[in-house]
Structure 1
Amino acid sequence: MTLKAIEIFHDVEEKDIELLSDLEEAASRFEWIPEDRLSKIIDLPEQDIEYRLDRLNKFELVERGIAKYRGYRILPPGFDLLALNSLVQRDVLEAFGIALGIGKEADIYDAITPEEKRVAVKFNRLGLTFTRLKEKRSYRPKHGWIDASKKAARREFEVLEKIYPDVEVPEPIAFDRHVLVTGLIEGEELEEVAEIDYPEPVLDEILRNVKESYKLGIIHGDLSEHNVIIKPNGEVLIIDWPQWEPVTHPEADDLLRRDVKSILSFFRRKFQIERELETVLEEFEK
């Protein structure tokens, strides 16, 4: 699957981006941006505005609506394009690759930096309920999803900066809007790994990283077999940190307990490795 914004990236013109940016700014005030307000929002002749909107509509970056009044709104690929364009302009990204993973709350693609380094590009999709972005009928009009997704990208970048490289997490590189750029994520989810020759050292390494994060004042908050990656060399990588909380959080003990219990339960279920939860948690205080 190719992301729509990547597919049409080189077909979009600078003036298209400028108009899309104007619409993005107006979207904070309007659910649908009224057609009769466009000339006040966009500094272009009316004929040029119509031409650019036709192009954006053709690219499926915006949508026309005539529910209560004639207006426009930005579709998810439009927000994707704005973020990608900004990252390219900032010399963070240069070329785009293939999908590394498509999930309910995020899509991850690989990309190349100007230094020819492969990186992971994570598009947060919190609150979106569609399976493919081009299915406009399933897009909800309010922009709560983009606000939540922007917050997730910012929070995850902030926590990765705090704990990398002491904890085995992706290297934080940049973020823009709802998009997070990190070091490349390669491997399989722990849950999908069919067999591990020596599972106990893997469990030890996961717990060591959880403990190291805790020492740095951070709790993952949503740890499970789905966000532990087993890399091709057998090392672990802990991903998906937007729900992190500081150890000073009122529910920090419960969050830590839940994270550790989730991992212990998985290893007990799949590899018959028994560890006492209370004994493991006591180690975090040493």
Structure 2
Amino acid sequence: MKLDTRAMRHLASEDWRVLTAVEMGSKNHEIVPTPLIERISRLRGGANGVHRSISALAKVGLIARVKEAKYDGYRLTYGGMDYLALHTYSARKEIYSVGTRIGVGKESDIMVVADNSGVQRVLKIHRLGRISFRTVKSNRDYLKNRSSGSWMYLSRLAAMREYAFMKALQNEGFPVPEPLGQSRHTVLMSLIDAFPLRGISSVPDPASLYADLIALILRLAKHGLIHGDFNEFNLLIKEVKTSKKNSETNEEEEAIDLVPILIDFPQMVSMDHRNAEMYFDRDVACPFFKDAKKLVAKDGATRLDATAAASGFSKKMAKDLEVAMREQIESRGEGAGSDEEEYDESDDESEDDEDGASEPVVIGGIGAEEAQEEPLAEDAGKLKVDG
């Protein structure tokens, strides 16, 4: 779906209170009754003020009235969740403007954003349930009493889990984007000037790159982790300039190394997981799982599965998300696809412009100048990129 932030700067404080009230009510109601919205928001203007805000929010698609409902009420839309998350980032001065969508898939949207100083960042918006949740919702056992807000609950869990793992991995020096923040169903991270592996048709030394990828899998195993979706869609290749001495001339020469960057972590599991071997084999057929298992916590390596668990992500949350992620993967074909796959947008509330591009929209304050966009890398020194 298209993230249109133009209405953000026109929302009054009362509108934000009402939108937050709908979010809070959604924890226990699929359709939040209007009287409950009035009680939670506690506007000075009473019912009249609430109804004015409801009208304003519904007009821009942040909440929606459900036809043929048994009572008068509203549901929170993905757009409403997006706005609440962006409002939080703006208050923290972590996001100032929103630019182009650079990635789209069944389970997330990837946006380029900028902070107050114009530094570009990446905002990942989790959207579990956008497409294949039609099949997931038929098996609600794992959601229990949360079925009314399942898409919000699961999308929030995916963001929490991704942020926890990304932070733990970065602290151990793994090649991952820098986690900068997390709010609701979104994760804010650094923008890496790199190419998706799925778009690279050739590299100078495939054997060397393959060895680096296997080494990365084994390094994860050593720290007690399995990525769970290790494929060309979830790997970036970054060109790093280095200096190497020429053995013949004994002079320093410029060289370019290809460094794999790992992304997408909501489906990551522990090496102690009951289905760990299945997840490991889905990532790579060689080396064998039993060999990788011997590496776990070897030589005093930190168990990052325990570190992530200590971040507040409970076992129940992990179970809920795991079942949902498995359903999502099975619905698209096991081992195929990722966040960059195409999907049918016919059910989205709005569609992108034909060219998919847009000017950055300021969300950080009225009258402020727009953050300047910097172009992404256009040329690759050693890579042959498709298209």
TM-score, normalising length: structure 2: 0.62
Q: For each residue in 1:141-168, what CA deviation from the matched residue of structure 2 results, as whole angstroms up to 9, or x when unmatched?
A: 9431111111011111111111115221
Change (3 A) 1:248 1:128: same
In proportion to residue count, which structure has more helix? Answer: 1
Match of 1:62 in 2: 63
Corresponding pairs, count = 260
Match of 2:51 in 1: 50
Match of 1:150 in 2: 156
Match of 1:75 in 2: 77
Q: Which deviates more, 44-53 or 158-167?
A: 158-167
Offset at residue 56 of structure 1 (A): 0.2
SS in 1 for 2:221: helix
Q: Report the RMSD for the aligned CA atoms in angstroms.
A: 2.3
Q: Which deviates more, 235-244 or 121-130?
A: 121-130
Match of 1:244 in 2: 268
- 1:260 counterpart = 2:308: no
CA contact (8 A) 2:62 2:78 kept: yes
Q: How does 1:21-40 map to 2 (within 5 A)?
A: 21-40=20-39
CA contact (8 A) 2:238 2:259 kept: yes
Offset at residue 43 of structure 1 (A): 0.9
Offset at residue 189 of structure 1 (A): 2.5
Offset at residue 30 of structure 1 (A): 1.2
SS in 2 for 1:180: strand
Change (3 A) 1:256 1:34: same
Corresponding letter in the other structure for 1:247: M
Corresponding letter in the other structure for 2:154: A
Tell me, in whole angstroms, the C-alpha distance in 1 between the residues paired with 2:292 and 2:21. 53
Tell me, in whole angstroms, the C-alpha distance in 1 between the residues paired with 2:26 and 2:188. 25
Corresponding letter in the other structure for 2:232: E
Offset at residue 27 of structure 1 (A): 0.9
Offset at residue 258 of structure 1 (A): 2.0
Tell me, in whole angstroms, the C-alpha distance in 1 between the residues paired with 2:239 and 2:64. 43
Q: For each residue in 1:62-108, what CA deviation from the matched residue of structure 2 results, as whole angstroms up to 9, or x when unmatched?
A: 11224222211111100000011111112222222211211111001
Corresponding letter in the other structure for 1:123: I
Tell me, in whole angstroms, the C-alpha distance in 1 between the residues paired with 2:30 and 2:219. 44
Q: How does 1:1-286 map to 2 (within 5 A)?
A: 2-4=2-4, 6-44=5-43, 45-67=46-68, 68-129=70-131, 142-164=148-170, 166-231=173-238, 233=240, 234-261=258-285, 277-278=286-287, 282=291, 285=294
Change (3 A) 1:115 1:252: farther
Tell me, in whole angstroms, the C-alpha distance in 2 between the residues paired with 1:37 and 1:153. 28
Tell me, in whole angstroms, the C-alpha distance in 1 between the residues paired with 2:292 and 2:229. 20
Offset at residue 54 of structure 1 (A): 0.8
SS in 2 for 1:143: helix
> Once the two structures are aligned, what percentage of the paired residues are identical?
27
Tell me, in whole angstroms, the C-alpha distance in 1 between the residues paired with 2:37 and 2:53. 12
Q: Which has the higher contact order (CA 8 A, sep 6+)?
A: 2
Structure 2 alignment gaps of length 5 or more: 133-146, 241-257, 296-387
SS in 2 for 1:255: helix
Corresponding letter in the other structure for 1:206: L
Tell me, in whole angstroms, the C-alpha distance in 2 between the residues paired with 1:225 and 1:284. 24
Q: Which deviates more, 79-88 or 111-120?
A: 111-120
Match of 1:134 in 2: none
Change (3 A) 1:108 1:84: same
Offset at residue 190 of structure 1 (A): 1.5
Offset at residue 282 of structure 1 (A): 3.6
CA contact (8 A) 1:219 1:255 kept: yes
Q: For each residue in 1:156-201, what CA deviation from the matched residue of structure 2 results, as whole angstroms up to 9, or x when unmatched?
A: 1111111115221111111011000111144332222122222121
Match of 1:266 in 2: none
